[in-house]
Amino acid sequence: MASAPLLRFTEAQYLRYEREFQQKHEFVHGNILAMAGAGTRHNIIAANLLSALVVGLRGKRCRAVGSDQRVLVKPGALYFYPDVTVLCPPVEHLDESRDTVLNPHLIAEVLSSATRRHDVDLKLPAYREHPAIQEILLIEPDVLWVQHWFRSPGGEWQMRTISSASLAVNLDSLGVEVPIEEIYRNATDA
């Protein structure tokens, strides 16, 4: 029995589709994937992290943005919408539309049962290969658990896991400390 051929899209077709319909889709090796809606706890955690970064970056050159920021992770193959992205100047864009960033400094993903495998198995390795990304946060919404990936001064990736409300994530490349309790504030009630 012959199977129907898979419809593949070019990078240009993806960008045209994305810009025309104003909806968020990720691009993975020629496939356009609709973004799933997130739960309340997920959204609270992402908003808390974004807020903490906005405050922590005051007076500094870098800026934090939310999940509407598209990031080109691998040319021709991978475009993602991280939950939180930190941009440091000079910010580079794909083209004059200025809707796709090429050089994110920090990426954060709030995991969920629906996206965990995609975030850990596909996105994390791709983020670690991106030359501009210096720090990555993976945040578990249902238990207090943050995995912090960061480049050492020699450029190698290191990882630490934080699972105590009394601790903080030290984002050394940004000079910002984010208390774990701030990330999870009001999320357990949701």
Q: pLDDT per residue over 137-183, tens digit each? A: 999 999 999 999 999 989 999 999 999 999 999 999 999 999 999 99
What is the 8-class DSSP label of residue 93? Answer: B
Q: Judge whether 123 lies within some domain.
A: yes
| pTM of the predicted model as reported, rounded to 2 decimal places | 0.91
CATH number at residue 94: 3.90.1570.10
Residue 101 belongs to domain spanning = 36-183
Element housing 16 (H / E)? helix 11-21
Helices assigned H by DSSP within 24-91: 40-56
Q: Judge whether 15 lies within some domain.
A: no
Q: 57-61 contacts: CB < 8 A, separation 24 or more? A: 57/86, 57/174, 57/176, 60/174, 60/175, 60/176, 61/88, 61/89
- Going edge to edge, which strands form the sheet with 78-80? 31-34, 25-28, 78-80, 70-74, 100-101
Q: Which of 25, 23, 43 is nearest to 33 (CA)?
A: 25
Domain count, the chain: 1
pLDDT digits over 7-45, tens only? 689 999 999 988 988 779 999 999 888 887 788 999 999
Q: Judge whether 177 lies within some domain.
A: yes
Q: Judge whether 6 lies within some domain.
A: no
Q: Judge whether 108 lies within some domain.
A: yes
Q: Judge whether 53 lies within some domain.
A: yes
